[in-house]
Amino acid sequence: MYTFVAIEIIIKFSTIIIYHIKYKGVIMNRFFVGVVSLTMLLSITSIQANEKHGATHEKHWDYSKNGPTHWGEFSKTCAEGKSQSPINIKPGKVVELNHKYDIALNEDVHTKAKVIDNGHSIKVTPKKGGTITLNGETFKLLQFHFHGKSEHTVDGKRYDMVAHLVHQNPKTKQLAVIAVFFKEGEKNPILDSVINGLGKEIDIDPQDLLPKDKAHYFHYVGSLTTPPCSENVQWYLLKQPSQASKEQIEAFRKYYVDNERPIQELHDRVVEGN
């Protein structure tokens, strides 16, 4: 590449010198040679800069220019999947749940956790997450993060905020996400430490995020709501919302307010509830 550019420069350089010797006389030559050299030097620098930029700067998904309608460019599943999330829950069409679910955390979960801004949300990764049991299988809490408005809607209603607690079955790697809706009300014990702890390690108990009633929820099988939009994710949406104060919601939305994916088609899926 550089050899090619160098040859091109030498040819142009010589042509211009010859032109000036022939038609303009020798006096002006030094000036033109200087200008031409500078131009060529700048173009080489710019080519090098572009190549470097192209090599290191990949296209990234987001919620604006590379937003949800472009996510198929990052992962085909986002555009073509038939079990995508989030969805709108129609409580009138929910069928009775047919399997056992236990949201109780099975161990002492007071833990240290790392809080980061990953560019899409504020994410909290506990050192030692709790576990839930689904159909006799144990799922471990990997991380939780927030959206500035709820992604799922219930009868078209969007909640003020949502926390997604992402769990994984260590054996099968299957994911189960518990969605905790937030509505404006009382101060939540965990939100301040999360927002103020950005970039730090904090002490938390993830159970503090959950509402009093953890026994009633909607369940369906969907996907991650961000690329790669992988499917076969077990979703559990707690019916009772938790509360967060107006100030806490505003504090979070200073970071993220429009980080929710639009509602996806239900297709032939069924939503269960209890």
Active-site residue (options: 53, 120, 147, 219): 120
Which residues inside 75-114 make contact with Zn ion, applying CB under 5 A? none
Bridge-based pairing of strands 175-184 and 231-238 is: parallel
Provide the edge-to-edge strand list for the sheet that holds 153-154: 88-89, 153-154, 157-158
In whole angstroms, give the CA distance from residue 138 to residue 233: 15
Q: Are 68 and 81 in contact (CB under 8 A)?
A: no
Stretches 12-20, 55-63, 160-168, 236-244: which one binds Zn ion (CB under 5 A)?
A: 160-168
Give the residue, chosen from 20, 152, 158, 164, that forms a contact with Zn ion under the rule CB under 5 A: 164
120 among known catalytic residues: yes
Q: From residue 175, how far is each of 122, 172, 260, 269 by CA, in Å?
A: 19, 9, 19, 18
CB of 164 to Zn ion, least distance (A): 4
Whole-number minimum distance, CB 235 to Zn ion, in Å? Answer: 11
- Whichever of 20 and 206 has its CB closer to Zn ion, that residue is 206
To which H or E segment does residue 124 belong?
A: strand 122-126
Task: Evaluate the CA torsion angle 191, 197, 199, 205 in order and state its sign.
Answer: negative
The least distance separating Zn ion from the CB of residue 247, rounded to whole angstroms, comes to 23
> Which of 20/115 has CB closer to Zn ion?
115
Q: Can you tell me the distance from the alpha carbon of 98 to that of 62, in angstroms, rounded to the nearest whole number?
A: 37
Distance, in Å, from the CA atom of 118 to the CA atom of 129, rounded to the nearest integer, reads 19
Residue 261 binding Zn ion, by CB under 5 A: no
**Which residue, 20 or 151, is less far from Zn ion as judged by CB?**
151
Residue count, binding to Zn ion (CB under 5 A): 1
**Binding characters for Zn ion, 108-147, by CB under 5 A (x = yes):** ----------------------------------------
Span of 97-105, 164-172, 210-218, 230-238 interacting with Zn ion by CB under 5 A: 164-172
Q: Which stretch binds Zn ion (CB under 5 A): 8-16, 58-66, 157-165, 246-254?
A: 157-165
Name residue, tokens 């730090």.
200
Stretch that binds Zn ion, among 32-40, 104-112, 156-164, 168-176 (CB under 5 A): 156-164
Angle ∠(35,37,42) on CA atoms, nearest 5: 95
- Any idea which residues carry the catalytic annotation? 120
Residues in the site for Zn ion, rule: CB under 5 A?
Answer: 164
